[in-house]
Structure 1
Amino acid sequence: MTVLVLGLFIFLGAHSVRMVADPWRTAQIARLGPGRWKGLYTLVSIAGLALVVWGYGLASAHPAVVWTPPVWGRHVAALLTILAFVLIAAAYVPRNRIKAALGHPMLAGVQAWALGHLLANGTLAAVVLFGAFLAWAVADFVSARRRDREAGTSYPTGTPARDAMVAVVGLVAWALLGFVLHEWMTGVRAFG
């Protein structure tokens, strides 16, 4: 569990710098330059993510059951992950109405993904992993929306064609991960 917690601390810590130390972040970008800052940020994020994956695998080898998930938890998780993938797609497809409404659909998608996985998994490692991501995504979403309000940031209105593109990309990515890649990546069949 130590490796998992360390990985979460590094990965989510790197992704929280703007939320908790924005002036320091701005000063570092000015000092290092955007390219070097992004390079360091990427290296730290990859290291943290690698520790998260490794730590979760280690903790899952000897699972401590915190609670027994209800059967319906898997079905709700499937629906929430559909929503998550559509929201994540909305973060990358320009000029869609989801991004215009939420501003930060990636963070909303992480919330849906984490909540769904909490409902479907009851081990201590799962509660730590998905609980940490859920708490971080909620805090970062609130922080990002506050920054938007303070800066007067607005997002361009979307078009129905872009909304359709978001839905298709999200659903295809969800199906690919759920039916093909999830078991390969995690050793757990998402469906079936």
Structure 2
Amino acid sequence: MTQLILGLVLFLAVHSVRIVADDWRTRLRSRLGENGFKGLYSVLSLVGLVLIVRGYGEARLDPVALWTPMLWARHLASLLVLLAFILNVAAYVPGNQIKAKLHHPMILGVKLWAFAHLLANHTLADVLLFGSFMVWAVFDYRSSRRRDAAAGTVYAPGTASRTVLTVVVGAAAWAVFAFWAHAWLFGVAPLGR
């Protein structure tokens, strides 16, 4: 469990600098240069991610159950993760109406993904992992919206065709993950095959 906690602290701390110390981040970027900053950010993020994966994997070997999982929650979680995939894709498809409306769909996708997994899972490691990401996403979304307001950021309205493309790509990615990749990567078939 220690590796999981250390990984979460490192990974989420790196991803929270803009939330709590945006001016310091700007100064550090200037001092290190764009590539130096991205390199440091990437290395620290990767180390945090490796610790999270290893720690979560170890915690799954000796799980501490907190409640009895409910079957309906698993089905609801699958639906919520479908929406999370679409939101994540919306962050990258230019000119879609989802991004135009929500402004930071990836952060909302992380929040939805974490909430879905909190519904479907029941161990201490699950609560630590998904709960941490959900709390981070709440604060990051708020911070991002505040920065947008301060900068006067305006998002292009988006088109229906780009929105349909976003939904189709997101749903296809979810299907691949739900029906094959999740079981292959994590040993759990979310749709109960």
Which residues in structure 2 correspond to 1:11-30 (within 5 Å)?
11-30=11-30
Amino acid at match of 2:127: V
Note the 1:107-122 alignment, pairs <5 A: 107-122=107-122
Structure 2 Cα separation of the partners of residues 68 and 166 of structure 1: 36
Instruction: Specify the alignment match of 2:69 in structure 1.
Output: 69
Offset, 1:59: 0.6
Aligned counterparts of 2:91 and 2:81: Cα–Cα separation in 1: 15
Does the CA contact (< 8 Å) of 2:84 and 2:110 recur in 1?
Answer: yes
Give the aligned partner of residue 143 of structure 1. Answer: 143
**RMSD (Å), alpha carbons:** 0.7
Quote the offset at 1:67 in angstroms.
1.1
Which residue of structure 2 aligns with residue 166 of structure 1? 166
| Aligned position for 2:189 | 189
Q: Deviations over 1:55-98 (max 9, x none)?
A: 00011100000111211100110010010000000000011111
**Is the 8 Å Cα contact of residues 182 and 189 (structure 2) preserved in structure 1?**
yes
Q: Give the superposition deviation at 1:185.
A: 0.8
Match of 2:135, as an amino acid? A
SS of 2:21's equivalent in the other structure is helix
- CA distance in structure 1 between the aligned counterparts of 2:117 and 2:124, rounded to whole angstroms: 13
Distance 2:76 2:60 in 1: 22
1-structure distance, mates of 2:104, 2:118: 22
Name the counterpart of 1:94. Answer: 94
Provide runs of 4+ in structure 1 moved above 4 Å: none
Instruction: Give the alignment's TM-score, normalised by structure 1.
Output: 0.98
Report the counterpart of residue 80 of structure 2 in structure 1: 80
User: 2:75·2:191 contact (CA, 8 Å) conserved in 1?
Assistant: no
Q: Unpaired segments of 5 or more residues in structure 1?
A: none
> What do the CA deviations read for 1:131-179 (whole angstroms, capped 9, x no partner)?
0000000110011001111111111110001001100110011011111
Aligned length: 192
When the two structures are superposed, what TM-score results if normalisation uses the length of structure 2?
0.98
